[in-house]
Amino acid sequence: MRFAILALALLPVTAGAQDWKPLTEELLKREKPGYGGLCGVAVDRATGQVYVNVSDRGVFRSSDGGATWERFGTALKGRTETPGCLMFDPTGNTRRLLMATVYGGPIAVTTTDAGEWRIFDKASVHVDWCAADWTDPEMKFLLAFKHESGGQLLRSRDGGLSFDELGKDHGPAWVFDANTAVVALAKTRDRPKGGIVRTTDGGKSFQPVADFTMQWPPRWHAGALYWLTDGQLVKTTDMGATWTKVCELKDGRLGPVSGKNEKHLFVLTGKGIVESADGGATWSAPHSIPKELKGVSPLTWLDYEPKSDALYVMKMTSELYVWNRMGRK
């Protein structure tokens, strides 16, 4: 009996409708956003601050878990849409924040201390995401994905001063350093499984390294790059040269999102948020997302704030919702 009680206590708490609280009603009422409303969220894990993009009104920041919001930096027109448009340096080594507005201006980067945006070349207007070399203070090597352009991949070698086109039928990508990156290939008639290609010369040439099908941007966690593919989670620890299977994971949509430590992970699936405390070996039953989101779509965002054990979720046009789990058993 004692072991049964212990096992029960270790099971994760499942979110119910009453656990998710909306945070941005007053902000959106005050700012009167353009089409898309609230359209992105990112958590600064170093400080616990939460950042959101409000369509055509810019970025806002909360230092108290969403109770109050203040404008961050210069207001930039446009809106983000899908996860990958708004992200902090995933290595945690800098305070940089990168934003790509799908509709609006070019890609822009700032630091949380300065709050003033450095705007990239106008060729980077209308992109779904941007992958950057976070190891380089000047971020010279960039890859971006042109929105609604048949998978057109853009490349910059001069920190966003100019971009060139690398061709269509691409998918999400990741930049490891000044010369090394991996890019997903879209499914085509001649390539029914898609695949992953790798460059070690800054995008001059690419070589195939895996035949996984990737639809969602990869995530950096604890020194490894993780990627959700068809029915499984894979990772690489050698800058994309080789890939290993972490686990079977059905219908993964976004993640893994880093948790409290190297073993703690979250993944958004079609049925809700699943959680692992052992590096992906096992996963919880799905935590429900707010019913107001009406299910999971490519526009659904998920992030986590470790200091207060809080999950944040939203979908473009929705409120931002938080599930504060601190002290829950």
Q: What is the pLDDT of residue 31?
A: 96
Mean pLDDT of the chain: 92
CATH of domain 13-218+303-324: 2.120.10
Q: What is the pLDDT of residue 4?
A: 36
Average confidence (pLDDT) over 153-161: 97
Tell whether the model's pLDDT for residue 300 goes beyond 50.
yes
Model pTM? 0.92
The confidence band for 15, taking pLDDT boundaries of 50, 70 and 90, is low
Q: What is the pLDDT of residue 13?
A: 54
Tell whether the model's pLDDT for residue 241 goes beyond 50.
yes
Q: What is the pLDDT of residue 7?
A: 36
What percentage of the chain reaches a pLDDT higher than 90?
A: 84
Tell whether the model's pLDDT for residue 68 goes beyond 90.
yes
What percentage of the chain reaches a pLDDT higher than 70?
A: 94
Q: What is the pLDDT of residue 25?
A: 97
pLDDT digits (tens, 9 = 90+) for 189-239: 888 888 999 999 999 999 999 998 888 899 999 999 999 998 999 999 999
Tell whether the model's pLDDT for residue 8 goes beyond 70.
no
Burial of 280 (0-12, 13-18, 19+ CB in 10 A): buried
Q: What is the pLDDT of residue 1?
A: 40
Q: What is the pLDDT of residue 328?
A: 55
pLDDT digits (tens, 9 = 90+) for 131-145: 999 999 999 999 999
User: CA 8, 9, 14 angle in degrees (round to 5)?
Assistant: 85
Tell whether the model's pLDDT for residue 285 goes beyond 80.
yes
pLDDT digits (tens, 9 = 90+) for 76-106: 999 999 998 999 999 989 999 999 999 999 9
Residue 113 one-letter amino acid: D
The confidence band for 17, taking pLDDT boundaries of 50, 70 and 90, is low
Average confidence (pLDDT) over 288-300: 95
